[in-house]
Structure 1
Amino acid sequence: MPFIKVNKEEAISELQNIISEANKINELITSEENKQISDFFSEWQECVEELLKNIIDDSNLVSEFESETIYLENSFSKYSTKNEVTKAISRGIKFLKRLREDISKDVYKDKKIISNEIPYEIANIIIRRILQNFHKHIEAMYQNTVHGSARILKCDLDKIKIGNEYDVQRMLYSIIKPIFPLARLEVVDDTKYNSIRYDICIDEYDVVIEVKCTRNSMSERHLTEELGSDIFHYQARNLFFFIYDKEKIIRNKDAFIKSYTKKDTELNKNIETIVIQPILL
């Protein structure tokens, strides 16, 4: 996810200054005596592009701005060129105002690197890998052969069984916590309408992990209704659903994952679903 390289207030202030410069250029090019319309506009474009590179880590942003501010210069008509530049500046200003509003609404988060230097954009990759390979932790910790000199006995490990989502949540949290020390468990968030409980919350990366463990009394339809409600109510930019399908109620795992994995939804969320269906022989 793109993030701002400076603090939010500084980014908003810089954008406001460059918008003000655009308004001044508009005043200049309305003067009939001005014969350097294109030069003024080109200089402003370059300043904006440099600013975007300095305040936001998004390689597509400059290209989007360039597309918004393209104009056709008419070498035979000064009036036509002036009109086209004015329109281009207007589109550029609207683009920058939208960007300023997005930053003020925290669409772009501050770049955050925690003590072990995991960059924001890498955090989701690590979380995804942990969730996708959760079953390997179960195998390595509880199911594989125990060394003969170990004090932890295999018979004791065999007593540990996953009974419900709280068991899954505890195991998963124990893996995540050493990598993301600021991760929190059972976080309550009071909204305007009701209270929401997040299973695992990693605030500095705007990540929430919701854990599900299927049971005999649960239908696939009931599970999808829970996910739909969570997607609507949970306030996080990056929402992971980790489903330990203990009872294998999900009939088509691949189709299910595809249905509940979306990027940049209308609710401004990235939603990713990981399903683990244990194989017991």
Structure 2
Amino acid sequence: MLNNIRSMGEAVECIRNARDRQMFQSAVASLREYMKGLGIGPQELLGLERIAYYPQNVYSDKETKENMETAKYRVISYIEDILRDDGKDGQLLEILNNFYLFLENLTERKPHKSGGIQQEQLDALKIKNEYDVQHLLYACIKLFYPMARAEVNEDTGYGTVRTDIFLDSEHVIEIKCTRKNMKLKKLTEEIEADMVHYGAENIYFFLYDKEKIIENPMVFKKNYEEKIKGKKVHIIIHQPKIL
């Protein structure tokens, strides 16, 4: 009978407390079902099966037990890696989703009258294209990810793509800024091409919809976040009021 695992933390406890082969197999099976429910793809599930496998020695219970303990350690490490990635995703998504707070406080909050920054200077700050978005967003990202780099070329094996903001080999940010006369079809074509070409597992599309061509952001987001298997695609949409 499967354990009723409701979190990765519970999975760690079930794996750690497994005293025999049956308990361990049950815990792994329950973890697999829980991961399926989270939408984790078949490749990751196959990876779980591989690291959970261990050989049995019919002549030595001691060696079989040691092999199982080693497999338990591998599975727990695998879970902890997932938790670390989720934590990184959560922090990055919070930064990207709250980008408007940075813009509001930079441009709309009146500067101190004794300061050198004047209101007319802030009023002159306008976002015209994706290079402007990249410049401002990169400044925010560097606070939390000092190793981040802008405009990094990546050799995909069949061509070179340029990452707008590169965090590491598995996390990249692609920036889009809509412009006058840009059609929604053009935007979706660019996104779909980038989803395939980037080698990173986690792709964050930061869409600064300046011209508000995305009529239903929630539907658009849901559609593309479920578009491709084997990668985690995140869609962040900002439709500014002023800039």
- What TM-score, normalized by structure 1, do the two folds share? 0.62
- Equivalent position of 1:52 in the other structure: 74
- Residue 160 of structure 1 deviates from its aligned partner by 1.0
Larger Rg: 1
Instruction: Give identity over the alignment, percent.
Output: 37
CA RMSD of aligned residues (A): 3.1
Preserved contact between residue 241 and residue 272 of structure 1 (Cα < 8 Å): yes
Q: Would you say how many aligned residue pairs link Structure 1 and Structure 2?
A: 195
- Equivalent position of 2:236 in the other structure: 274
C-alpha distance in 2, partners of 1:144/1:51? 52
Superposed CA deviations along residues 165-212 of structure 1, whole A, max 9, x for unmatched, are: 0000010000001210100100001222211000001116x2100000
- Equivalent position of 2:218 in the other structure: 254
- Equivalent position of 1:167 in the other structure: 132
Aligned to 2:204, which of 222, 236, 240?
Answer: 240
Q: Does 1:187 align with 2:152?
A: yes
C-alpha distance in 2, partners of 1:208/1:152? 33
3-state DSSP class of the match of 2:203? strand
1:52-201 matches, within 5 Å, as 52-53=74-75, 55-57=77-79, 120-201=85-166
3-state DSSP class of the match of 2:124? coil
Residue type at the aligned position of 1:273: I
- What TM-score, normalized by structure 2, do the two folds share? 0.71
- Structure 2, unmatched stretches of 5+, are 1-7, 9-49
Preserved contact between residue 260 and residue 271 of structure 1 (Cα < 8 Å): yes
- Residue 57 of structure 1 deviates from its aligned partner by 2.6
3-state DSSP class of the match of 2:225? coil
- Structure 1, unmatched stretches of 5+, are 3-14, 29-35, 59-107, 112-118
Q: Summarize the Cα distance change of 1:181–1:280 in structure 2 as closer, same or farther, 3 Å threshold.
A: closer
Residue type at the aligned position of 1:247: E
Q: Summarize the Cα distance change of 1:274–1:191 in structure 2 as closer, same or farther, 3 Å threshold.
A: same
Residue type at the aligned position of 1:216: K
- Equivalent position of 2:14 in the other structure: none
- Equivalent position of 1:84 in the other structure: none
Moved more, 188-197 or 223-232: 188-197
3-state DSSP class of the match of 1:57? helix
3-state DSSP class of the match of 1:156? helix
- Residue 54 of structure 1 deviates from its aligned partner by 5.0
C-alpha distance in 2, partners of 1:42/1:187? 48
3-state DSSP class of the match of 1:227? helix
- Residue 146 of structure 1 deviates from its aligned partner by 1.6
Superposed CA deviations along residues 118-143 of structure 1, whole A, max 9, x for unmatched, are: x5442211111111111111110112
Residue type at the aligned position of 1:277: Q
C-alpha distance in 2, partners of 1:54/1:244? 39
- Residue 158 of structure 1 deviates from its aligned partner by 0.9
Preserved contact between residue 217 and residue 237 of structure 2 (Cα < 8 Å): yes
